[in-house]
Amino acid sequence: MKRIALAIALSTALSAQAIEYNQVQASQSNVAFVYKQMGVAVDGKFKKFSSQLSFDPAKPTAAKATFDVELASVDTGAPEGDDEVASKSWFNTKAFPTARFVSASVKPLGGNRYEVAGQLSIKGKTQDVVVPATFTPNGNSGIFDGSFTIRRADFSIGEGSWAKFDIVANDVQIKFRITASGK
């Protein structure tokens, strides 16, 4: 009887690790940002994004991810701020409606930590980025948490009189929590 219980426990553990997480649950996910304006931290988020994800914890180096963020869905906490950030000087959402991240490789760091290397494109400019992330399995779902910093000047975010960093800092921290289910 003990052998049967052990066999069931082992097969359950192995099948749990064989889940491929590929169905992003947008209602349980978020993409946010933090920047400094006149030395004060300001939080914002994006209300709309889509993604394609394929992650098997047993084969992390085979993982793939693509994220598209609708820049006009920016929420700065104030409608006039949203309009300003969507304008030509900032995101220029009429010409560049989305930002896109496409993974190129995933490096396991031990435990539930990973480094995801890829390319981030905003306003027609593309930069290589390395994104540290954690993965936490939760039943048939998994949660990916991470953050990384971009420099807005690298993507021409804030042009003209906003190109200086005296009012709005150059560094912008991007934070995300992505919940995905699998089978």
Ordered DSSP codes for 141-167: EEEEEEEEEEEGGGGT-S-GGGSSSSS
At residue 128's C-alpha, the angle toward residues 122 and 134, to 5°, is 95
44 and 76 Cβ atoms separated by less than 8 Å: yes
Q: Where are the domains of the chain?
A: 2-182
Q: Count of residues for the chain? A: 183
Per-residue pLDDT tens listing for the chain (183 residues): 444 443 444 444 444 456 899 999 999 999 999 999 999 999 999 999 999 999 999 999 999 999 999 999 999 999 999 999 999 999 999 999 999 999 999 999 999 999 999 999 999 999 999 999 999 998 889 999 999 999 999 999 999 989 999 999 999 999 999 999 987
In terms of CATH, what superfamily is 2-182?
A: Lipid/polyisoprenoid-binding, YceI-like (2.40.128.110)
